[in-house]
Amino acid sequence: MKITAEHQGSNLIISSDNTTNSTLSNQEILEKAIENVNDETKKIIILSRHVKKEYSAEMLKGLKELGTKNPVKDYLNGRKELKKSLIIKKAGKHLKKEPSPSIIYNKIFKPRVVPRFVSAKITYEKPKGAKKIKEYTINESKVTILEKNNQFFYHLKPAELNCEYETIKKVSETLKEIEEMELSLNNFKKDVTKLINKKQLTEQAKNIIKRHSTGFGVLDIIFNDPGVQDAYLYSSNNNLHLTHSIHGDCGTNIKVSKKDLEAIATKIRVASGRPFDGSFPVVDYELDDYNLRICGVREPLTFKGIGYAFRKHRKKPWTLPDFIENGMISSSVAGLLNFLIDSQCSILITGPRGSGKTSLLSALLNEVPKSQRVIVIEDTPELPVNALSKAGFRIQHLRIKPPLKERTTSYELSAEEALRTALRLGESVLVIGEVRGEEARALFEAMRVGATGNVVLGTIHGSNAYDTFDRVVNDLKVPATSFKATDIILSCANLRRGESLITDKRLTNITEIKKDWANNPFEEKGFNELTIFNRKNKTLKLSPKIKESNTLKKIARLKGISINDCLKSIKLRAKAKELIVKTKAPRNPGLIAEYNNKITELISQDKKNFLPMLRKFLKGSV
């Protein structure tokens, strides 16, 4: 029997001199037909058309490159064997319905979630010659702050190092059991907690197990230390370094291995649902359980390894009384800031990284009356929107795309798009987490024509009023006439304590932007300093020139009062903030708003008995 094959268009024509009594299978007929085709390329084309799969031709070429004598026959035999495999049989059931490949994959493969434990190397010995400054405990773990040659060291002794043998044994057995469990991805934390609660364990053992299974190992202790502001792991040496709220930059006795840096990456990927690999070497995510923001980088962005920055958010939002207490501002400055917010001024906060810009913005946001609508625009949530919302503030939080993301790979709106949307949402207090790009032009234009109609607050990188003007006008291409819409610029700074490496966050300038200049406010005396900063004792007080303030004149005109009335109001507000500090009155966001309402009411009704009546009100609040 002679069998021939001919390829006509998209059809394969197979014929023979006598096929009536043939007992050959379809595959055997196809093989014999192709054997009579001399051109190897035509064989591949015929077979590709027959199986109707684009990848068939590529697979046959691959077999030919491997040097097989009969690639077509080998391919057909391979297909025949593949059909016998369990995975193809399982897939075949679903292929008839033609779902997407990802659905088939998820139906065939059931993931087994295994916890990635994060460990660390702890150096037990303390630096020789170091002086002990402070000692305290965090969840049964001991923290010692040491100082040597004006440099501070954060020495951690985890609770694990103080445990009895039986406790450690039970912890190890439970962790091994967790590692061998079949766990659900969505219920991983819940399942682990359920297992732990079933066992007869001490609270100390339970905390250690949770820390090393669902948490970040000893890093959890760092994250839960209220004194720690930021923590860093470097790709070059994997040593943990942190910033302490009291002692500044500190080295530590903690070192995390390369393997554990990868374990942290896995935890972040699972929690965020975002990629973090060679194709996406940057991840930026909020870890709500720890109230911190994490930014990770890896190759090819780094030359070698993975690095992380963990930036903690304050659990209780900052308030102006808090800043009076820690020395960042004086009570007179707090009174002025409260007055400016109450008078619906536009304020920009400038300063270098870590100088307290966002913290001050949070405190000013606390001064906004609860009755006003607020729109907050951020790429990463750093402002205390949730706490303020729970306290009854009317806040709409808008997310914008981070500066590193392309629009095509991000669902978030650009800053400019979000800003224009915010302006369409109606008259509101407008808060921009950070002014840094294309949104600046739209923001200042809206401020200039009065489209915002209320308080405008934002932060921007700089060091003083002129730096801010230079950045906004020359770098961000905002017209100078639009920049005049800014009423006040607050300048923050990190000031070193003499030769020490410890720094103090301070508000160093409150600068008014005049409106009677044309091109350059510095050359044309368009800046008016409302305060005087004493470098020696790092204090800021109101300048006598505040009486000449154009902003106060405008406020006085709009309120129908005199400049002296404005100054009296500022003075009374300053005394009120000082009284809140002295009486240790609670400073929750809702209460601060109530205090401000009462302060405004008393100023307008009874200035003579202002302090006694406010003291009585605060006592009732306590």
The DSSP secondary structure of 268-319, one letter per residue, reads HHHHH----SSSS-EEEEEETTTTEEEEEE-TTTSSSS-EEEEEEPPSSPP-
Give the pLDDT confidence score for residue 562 in this predicted structure. Answer: 92
The rounded distance, in Å, linking the Cα atoms of 512 and 490 is 9
Residue 319: per-residue pLDDT: 93
Containing H/E element for 576? helix 563-582
Nearest to 223 by CA among 248, 242, 210: 242
What is the mean predicted confidence (pLDDT) over 206-226? 89
Q: Residue 405's pLDDT is what? A: 52
More confident: 535 or 84: 535
Q: Give yes or no for residue 17 having a pLDDT over 80.
A: no
Helix 86-95 / helix 101-108 crossing angle, nearest 10 deg: 130
- pTM (whole model) above 0.85: no
Contact 428, 375 (CB under 8 A): yes
Distance CA 362, CA 431 (A): 10
CA–CA distance, 15 with 343 (Å, rounded to integer): 94
Q: Are 323 and 329 in contact (CB under 8 A)?
A: yes
Q: What band does 7 get if pLDDT is binned at 50, 70 and 90? A: very low
* pLDDT band per the 50, 70, 90 thresholds, residue 331: very high
Q: Does residue 399 sit in helix, strand or coil?
A: strand
Backbone dihedral angles phi then psi of residue 185, each to the nearest 5 degrees: -60, -45
d(CA 380, CA 469): 25
- Separation between Cα atoms, residue 575 and residue 613, nearest integer Å: 13
Residue 267 burial (CB count, 10 A) = 19
- Considering only CA atoms, which of 254, 213, 262 is closest in space to residue 231? 254
CA–CA separation, 108 and 92 (whole Å): 11
Quick one: pLDDT at residue 619?
79
Among residues 246, 334, 368, which one has the least CA distance to residue 580? 334
For residue 57, is pLDDT > 60?
A: no
3-class secondary structure, 249: strand
Contact of 544 with 567, CB cutoff 8 Å: no
* DSSP of 183-198: B-STTHHHHHHHHHHH
At 328, which amino acid appears?
M
Angle between helices 40-51 and 71-82 (to 10 degrees): 20
CB-based burial, 572-581: b 16+ in 10 Å, e otherwise: bbbbbbbbbb
CA distance 575 to 567: 13
Q: What is the distance between the alpha carbons of residues 248 and 269, in angstroms, rounded to a whole number?
A: 31
pLDDT at residue 107 is higher than 80:
no
DSSP one-letter code for 409: G
Find the range with the poorest average confidence among 75-89, 145-159, 574-588. 75-89
- In the numeric block, which tokens belong to residue 401? 């795309």
SS3 321: helix
| Helix or strand (DSSP H, E) at 519 | none
Q: Which fold has domain 320-560?
A: Rossmann fold (3.40.50)
Average pLDDT over residues 531-535: 91
* Helix (H), strand (E) at residue 16: strand 11-16
Which class does domain 121-312 fall in?
alpha beta
The CA distance from 428 to 570, in Å, is: 24
113 pLDDT tier (thresholds 50, 70, 90): very low
pLDDT tens for residues 484-529? 889 999 999 988 877 766 778 899 999 999 988 888 888 888 999 9
Nearest to 224 by CA among 201, 207, 200: 207
Lowest mean pLDDT among 91-100, 283-292, 345-354: 91-100
Q: How confident is the model at residue 147 (pLDDT cuts 50, 70, 90)?
A: very high
* pLDDT at residue 300 greater than cutoff 60: yes
What percent of the chain shows pLDDT beyond 90?
Answer: 28
pLDDT range class, residue 116, cuts 50, 70, 90: low
**What pLDDT does residue 117 have?**
58
Give the three-state DSSP class for 374: strand
pLDDT digits (tens, 9 = 90+) for 309-322: 998 888 788 999 99
Residue 20 — very low, low, confident or very high, per pLDDT cuts 50/70/90? very low
Q: Which two tokens stand for residue 78?
A: 């391979």
521, 527 contact by CB (below 8 A): yes
End-to-end CA separation in angstroms for the chain? 104
> What does the alpha-carbon distance between residue 493 and residue 533 come to, in Å, rounded to a whole number?
12
pLDDT band at 67 (very low <50, low <70, confident <90, very high): low
The band of 108, judged by pLDDT with boundaries at 50, 70 and 90, is low
CA distance 477 to 486: 15
Q: What totals of helices (H) and strands (E) does the chain contain, helices first?
A: 23, 22
| pLDDT on residue 135 | 94
- Is 434 strand, coil or helix? coil
Residue-wise pLDDT for 333-343, tens only, equals: 999 999 999 99
Q: How much of the chain exceeds pLDDT 70, in percent?
A: 77
- In tens, the pLDDT along 414-473 reads 767 777 777 777 667 888 888 877 667 777 776 766 545 578 898 988 889 999 999 888
How many residues does the structure list for the chain? 622
Question: Tell me, what amino acid is at 108?
Answer: I
Which residues face 16 on adjacent strands? Answer: 3
Q: What's the whole-number mean pLDDT along residues 60-73? A: 63
Closest CA to 348 of 476, 424, 444, 479: 444
Which pLDDT belongs to residue 55? 44
Q: Could you tell me if residue 129 is left (phi over 0), alpha (psi between -120 and 50 degrees) or otherwise beta? A: left
Contact 153, 145 (CB under 8 A): yes
- 10 Å CB burial of residue 58 (0-12, 13-18, 19+) is exposed
Is there a cis peptide before residue 115, judged by omega within 30 degrees of 0?
A: no
Quick check: 155 and 146 in contact, CB under 8 A? yes
Consecutive H or E run containing 21: none
Residue 437's Cβ-side half-sphere holds a number of Cα atoms within 13 Å equal to 15
- Pair 413, 379: CB distance under 8 Å: no
pLDDT at 32: 58
Q: Which residues are CB-contacts of 346 (< 8 A; sequence separation ≥ 6)?
A: 447, 452, 455, 456, 457, 485, 486, 487, 488
> Pick from 190, 158, 198: which is nearest to 174 by CA?
198
Q: Kindly list the domain boundaries of the chain, sorted by start residue.
A: 3-108, 121-312, 320-560
